[in-house]
Every structure is written in structure tokens, then in C-alpha cells.
Chain A
Amino acid sequence: MYFLTTQDINDLARELQKTHAVYGPQVNAQTGQVFFDLLAESDLPDLEAAIPSMPVKEILFPQMERILKYSYDTQAQSVTLEKQYGEKLKVLFGLRPCDLAGIQCLDRFFLGQEFVDDVYLAHRRQSILITNTCTRPWDQCFCVCTHTGPAADEGFDLDLTRLDDGYLVQVGSEKGQALADTHGWATAERRRLAEKAAVVDRCVERFPDQAKDNKAWISRAMNRITTGFVKHEIWEYIGQQCFECGACSFVCPSCSCFNIEDVTLCGDSCERLRTRDSCSFSGYTRMAGDHNPRAPVEDRRNKRFFCKLSYTQSKKYLRPGCVGCGRCQLVCPGDIGLPNVVQYIRRETTE
């Protein structure tokens, strides 16, 4: 446990930039939107910025990624293949606890099952995660319902908390300890923990009543979804609201579905792209020969909430699939972001 000034934090970011690709939150001057992007040499992470518009998973599980390149010669009947994914040292500087929870979901899913996903592992192996405790909620936030914020408990390498006169830095891994040891930071006094607790409490108090109130309803919705107690009419209603745009999946920190496609570059040269996919798309389950086992839209919608909230699915993440970032609620044109779906289930149950 260390105590650093803002200057120390900036120095750390600059120093890491020498050896790592450093990603951090930045406010777009024109739109005011926050993006978690690769920082230019002159830039520093903006630790006061709001929750980023897109989840931080973009860096570890990009929207589109080339994993293989090959060229074939039809005349000589030969082919050469080249692996394209690789390891690059990177730092995620100042990610919000909800995004960290999303990465933990992806870790457990991509690395913790029967097979390990090589492509994700290559991204993840040499990345350093530095979290930033939220001192206030934003409009869409409901992490108090999913136990993913406003402060991170585990899974980070270093955890920063903004206090009145500097940053409390907590270490969460050997990687983080190594960073602390090389810098000889000043040890934080015990009172700093109480100060952090006060910051977190003040943040929780500022959440709207509805978010605090919904806490028990997330687990009750999980129970009802798992046991199949949600009426089919509710799923139909949710299905009718769905525009099938896939936005919820793309902004969700824990959504991990992907598609693989071989794209011809020129002539006999091809690249294999791994792109994110969404279970709301009608082509998601369509097989060769046009048979589609999951055609109706409510089947597909129901599947997403089943994936996020049922106990059986949660086993693969060791927690609910929802991390309470509220991005799906913000982007959904049909008003069926996850908190709303919980509301619908709640309304049905209480009526």
C-alpha cells in the first residue's frame, strides 16, 4: 500500500510508455466522449474522465483482428501460412472497476475452460492492469447491484484511489509489486484506507435509489431465469423491442462471441479475421444449407439474457455475466438494456 502524488502517477505513466503500449482514458475535445485509447507520447491518462463509451475489452479482444495470413498457389498446389497474433507489452492505465470485472469474465471464459484461447492469451499475458476507483457514479451506472464497483477488490495489478491530496496505490499481484519495488514509492499510512472507504461510501450514496433498490432484483431475476419462471410473453415482448443491431453485445465488457472469416486480400492472398459477433443477429446460428435452428428474434434475445444472468452460464465466469456498467442501457434503441430487462421481470413478478 503506497501513497503517490499526481506527479508520481504521471511519471509512472510516462516511464511505462518507454517500454509498453500504454492505453488510458481520454476525453475527446470535440465530442466530450471518453475513449480508452492508446496514448500518444505527449498524452497522459485522464483519471478524472467518465466511464469510457466503449469497454476496455477492445484492447484485449478487438472488434476485428487478423489472426492468420496465408497465400496459396493453385498452379503449384502449395500454401504458406503465417501466424499473425502475437505478444505486445501493454498497460491499461486507469480502467474502471466494471471494465476490470469484464476482463475477469473474459479471462475465466477464454483461459479457464477446457481449451485456452491462444489469441486472447497472447494479448493478456503481458498486459498490466491499473484500475481507478470511481469517486462518483455516472448516469448509466449500476455496479452497486452487481458487486463490481465502485472500487475493485481483486484482479488488478495496481489499484489507484483518488484521495484529497494524492493517490492511494494498492498492489494486487506480483507484477504490481514488482512495479512498486522498482520505484521505491512512499508507504501509505493506515488512515488512508479509512479515507478510501469514505470515498467509496460517498460514491455509493450518490447512486440513484433505483440502482440501490435493484440490488436484490438482479439475483431474483437470475433465479427466475435459471428456473425458467419467466413467462414466454415477457421474452416475446423483449424480442419485439429488439432492433437486432447488436450494439448491446459490442459495448458489453463480458460479451465474448466472435466470428471467423477468411477475406481475400488480392489474388491468392488471404487473411483470417476474427471479428466480434452478436447472438442477436439472425445469421448467428444459420448453417450451410440455410437451416437456422434459432430463427425467432425472441429466441435470440432470451439467449443473451440467459447468458448474462442464469446460474449455469455464470459458472463459466464464476460470477454473473453482467458487470453493471450500464452501457447496453445507454446504447439500446429498443429500451431493452439489461437493467430494463430486470425491471420487466420484476414487474411481471410483483404484478
Chain B
Amino acid sequence: MTHSQHHSEACRDTGRCPIVTFPEVVNIDEIKDEAPEVKTFYLSFLNPEVAPYFRIKSGQFIMCTVFGAGEFAVSLPPSPEHDRLHITVRSVGKVTDALHALRPGDKLGVRGPFGNGFPFATIKGKNIVYVAGGIGLIPLRSSIVHALQHRQDFGRIILLYGARSAGDLLYQADIEEWKKIDGFESFITIDRPEPGWQGQVGYVPNLIEKAKVPVEDTVAFVCGPPVMFNAVIAQLLKRGMSEDDIISTLERQMKCGIGKCQHCAIGRTLVCTDGPVYTYHQIKTLGEVI
């Protein structure tokens, strides 16, 4: 089957042409243990014709098939440019457990990329504050790498990141690399003190004060568990940040990725096609509790 047959023939001219219905097969080239129950899978398309068409935007996601188990939605951590295709997944259910049991050389199915992505066109010149908790760093990684690759386009780039323990911190090698880049500021914390940990201890919202997060000409990308999310939002609003400058990415059960199955509906929006990236102002006015 040729590449064009795999793509939806009716795919609208939106400047992108994702794999819509029929999954493309990818090879698992390498598997890396990221943290307990979290693994990173490095992937490459079996059909070399597909790769050039598979262009991602930071903040998008794919529908990933684990053959024999099912399909799940997962955010794309690689940057749009010069980055290996990979996904980072925690095993939390039937399909992700099956994924974790796979070996290098096994195959996966991929549809996508789907979703709106982060609004990079409108935030040029601004400071970016990334606030992530636990595996919330996964959907933000793409935009961090992208922003650092275009360092001159932005003001300060600050990462506030926390996890339960030092072992739960993701992308530690990446973070070490990013720290070498001029003007990248990072504040990393773990919930409780532990032997050998030299860094901050405490919860992520406390870092906002410590980092003296700017408010003027600044956008915040926030992703993490609901408790952290709410506390961070409260802090940022208290500092005077506008609801439109706080940006987050939501997750929902998804089956199709193209706005048809309706499982990801929140009020009047569909997370798969309207989202997954929303401003806090939008989140508040979706018409349903998130």
C-alpha cells in the first residue's frame, strides 16, 4: 500500500495531513527506563515515505496501537525539529501495561499527529514559565526543546518541575543538557528530603515564589495533577498573571482523535480537535467542570 492510500483521501487542507484512520506501523528502536513505571519508547516508521509527512507541532498527540491490546492517546514529547520520534508512557491500564511488556524490535501502530498544539506564533518575544508536576513534564517537553532551539525568539525560559522523589524525575539527562543553554533557568523539587538529594524540597507551587516568576510579557505552560494544577493557577493569578497567559494541556479518554467519537467532549469543546491545549480562561468557560 502506498503512502497516499494510508492517509485520509478527504483530509482537509489545514496545512497538515495526519494519519487519520489506518494506523502506520512503527518499529520500537530503543526502550529507556525513565522512572518507576515510566518508559520512553524511541520509534521509527517502517515505511520511509511516511516520515516526511509526519510533521508535529509542540503539544500535539498521537493515537498509538499496541497490537493485541488496543489503542490509546499519548502526547508527543519530541520537538518539531531535529528530535528522535519517541513517546513516554506510564503503565496505568490494560493497554499501557501491554506496551511496557514489549521489547525493542516490536511494532506499534501510529495515527496522528492530532490536536492544536501550543500557540507559539503568538508568544514570540515573551518569557515562558514551564510548571510541571510528575509525568506532566511529558507533554511540555516538546515545547521546551522547541523554545530552546529558538532561544533568541523568547525572553526568559524558566522550568519549575517537581516529582515525588528524585527517582521519579523524568528526562534528567535532557534537563542537564538544557541547563547548559544560556538563559535557561530551572528549579527542581521533590516532595520529601532523601539521602543524596542536594536540591529543593517541597511542592511545585512553592517554587513560583522562589523563582520570582515574572508576570509582564510572560506565558505559563502548566501541566500536572489536579491538586498541583489548582494551587499553581491560584499562585500565578495572585501574582497578577492574566487567565489568557496561563496555558495548559488537558487529557480525556479518546477513541478516534479526529473529533468524531465524542468521548473527549468537555462542555462545548472536543479535546482532540479544539485542544488539547487551552488557556486557563478557556478551561474556565468550557461549560463543564474539568
> Which A residues are within 8 Å of any B CB, using their own CB?
67-68, 70, 72, 74, 77-79, 81, 83, 109-111, 113-119, 121, 228, 256-262, 264, 268, 270, 272, 277, 279, 284-289, 293-294, 299, 303, 307, 310, 312-313
Residue pair A288, B93 in contact (C-beta under 8 Å): yes
Closest to B105 in A: A77
Asked whether B93 lies within 8 Å of A289 as measured between CB atoms, the reply is yes
Contacts of B165 in A (CB 8 A): none
CA distance in complex: A69, B273 (Å): 26
Q: Give me 13 A-to-B residue pairs in the complex whose CB atoms sit less than 8 angstroms apart, sorted by A's number.
A: A72-B67, A74-B106, A109-B260, A111-B10, A115-B8, A115-B20, A228-B287, A277-B263, A284-B263, A285-B263, A288-B72, A288-B94, A288-B253
Given contacts A79-B67, A294-B288, contact A118 B263 (CB under 8 A): no
Counting from the closest, the 3 A-B pairs by CB-CB distance are A288-B93, A116-B10, A115-B258
Q: Is the interface of B mostly helix, strand, loop or mixed?
A: loop
The answer to whether A288 touches B95, judged by C-beta atoms less than 8 angstroms apart, is yes
Q: A339 CA to B252 CA in the complex, in Å? A: 31
The reply to whether the CB of B206 lies closer than 8 angstroms to some CB of chain A is no
With A81-B25, A115-B20 already in contact, the answer to whether A262 and B261 are too (CB < 8 A) is: no
Most buried by A among B10, B258, B262, B290: B262
Number of B residues near A (Cβ < 8 Å) is 47
Judged by a CB distance under 8 angstroms, whether B11 is at the interface is: yes
Interface string of B272-290 (1 = CB under 8 A from A): 0100000000000001111
A284 to B95, CA, bound (A): 17
Residues of B within 8 A of A (CB): 8-12, 14, 20-23, 25, 65, 67-72, 92-96, 103, 105-107, 109, 251-253, 255-256, 258-263, 265-266, 268, 273, 287-290
Main secondary structure of the interface of A (DSSP, over half): mixed
Residue numbers in A under 8 Å from B287 (CB-CB): 228
The interface centre, meaning the residue of A68, A286, A307 with most chain B CB atoms within 10 A of its CB, is A68
With a CB–CB cut-off of 8 A, which chain A residues contact B259?
A: 113-115
Q: Which of B10, B12, B22, B71 contacts A121 (CB 8 A)?
A: B10
Q: Which residues of B contact A313 (CB under 8 A)?
A: 268
Q: Which single member of B92, B109, B258, B268 contacts A288 (CB below 8 Å)?
A: B92
Residue of A nearest to B93 (CB): A288
Say whether B20 contacts A270, CB under 8 Å. no
Tell which of A72, A111, A117 touches B107, judged by Cβ atoms closer than 8 Å.
A72
Knowing that A257-B261, A259-B255, A289-B93 are A-B contacts, what are 12 other residue pairs whose CB atoms are under 8 Å apart, sorted by A's residue number? A72-B107, A115-B260, A116-B12, A116-B20, A118-B10, A272-B71, A286-B253, A287-B253, A293-B266, A293-B290, A294-B288, A313-B268
